[in-house]
Amino acid sequence: MDRLDNTIRPYAWGSPTAIPRLLGTEPTGEPQAEMWMGAHAGAPSRTGRGTLAQVIDAAPEKELGPESVARFGPRLPFLLKLLAAGSPLSLQVHPDLDQAKDGYADEERRGVPVTAPHRNYRDANHKPELVCALTEFDGLCGFREPLRAAGLLEGLGVDSLKPYVDLLHAHPEEAALREVLTAILTADPEEMARTVAETAAACDRLGGDYAPYAGIAHHYPGDRGVVAAMLLNHVRLQPGEALFLGAGVPHAYLDGLAVEIMANSDNVLRCGLTPKHVDVPELLRIVRFEARDPGVLRPEAGPDGEEVYETPIDEFRLSRYVLPEAGTAHDLTLTTPQILLCTAGFVRAGEHELSPGASVFVPAGEKAEVTGTGTLFRATVVA
């Protein structure tokens, strides 16, 4: 069992206080957006044996188990994160596995550098993800019903939004959503900036259901993503609740602290709320234009106190243990690789004392007994 030393990514949207508060450290004054736990090449966790990527590369079957290697290859299939949003993340979607493979191969053939700012596909993997709230957590997830979106836009009383309202009324669901998002993303920049300014002022004046969009506009003045965001469901998670984001589902996280797990990928196509590259044709190819309920998940009780967040993905499985008694031991041994993350209290995992924010990697088949009083998240793969 290896204690992990993890990198904190200072993305501009990160909260300067949420992760330090959890870790019990002093804020640096800079944003601390994500703490990565895993073997992703961008920021692999460090162990006493080298980086976790080096440890796995040296003996993949020993560390991951033959079953995981046979199914997912000689790499850790998931990436676990602490995510602390102090301002909205970009409005975005992720490709499915076939789209990621094709897109990556195409950009490789065309010689687009992996680090190029206009590159869409950093790897050939999909990026389904699950986000579980540790505090109240605001986000946008999936399209609203077109008529509900039309009502929200119409209620603002902004004349330049009327063409979008008409589009949402005039077509079947998929066509309506496709046409209005296309119109928003291809509108004249100066006209759109004026529309966003009027929209922001109206949201600020009306409050209520419009308050989240007023906040978004404050952070991204003039950004067409402010209008696009109003096509999506607003969700407020309570601690312990979660959202699953599959391929093609537009989403954005707005505020709060959460545990996030995803397939080991960094593929993001952006729709707005960002100064970064937006590839409109590729984005429109990837987005799934279907209205959906956000589908708030609550954990399902399993054996020995485990609470499981069920998803349709094999590359990761997230569960939680709320340990009420210090003297009770729980055997978490599995034939698959695990990362254990403490988020509250104090937990002993093997020889390691874990305070909030501390984590360990448990190789496949390694004895994993935990005791203590606190909350422990377990990340592994579906057996």
The residues assigned a catalytic role are: 270
Find how far residue 268's CA is from the centre of its chain. Answer: 10
Helices 146-154 and 173-186: angle between axes, nearest 10 degrees: 40
3 state DSSP class of 382:
coil
> Based on C-alpha coordinates, what's the Rg of the chain?
22
What are the strands, taking DSSP E only, across 188-337? 232-237, 242-245, 251-263, 269-272, 300-301, 306-309, 317-323, 330-331
Write phi, then psi, for 290 (nearest 5 degrees). -145, 135
What whole-number distance in Å separates Cα of residue 318 and Cα of residue 308? 6
Q: How far is CA 268 from CA 30, 33, 210, in A?
A: 24, 17, 27
Helices 162-170 and 146-154: angle between axes, nearest 10 degrees: 160
Work out the angle at residue 257's Cα, subtended by the Cα atoms of residues 255 and 259, and round it to the nearest 5 degrees.
130
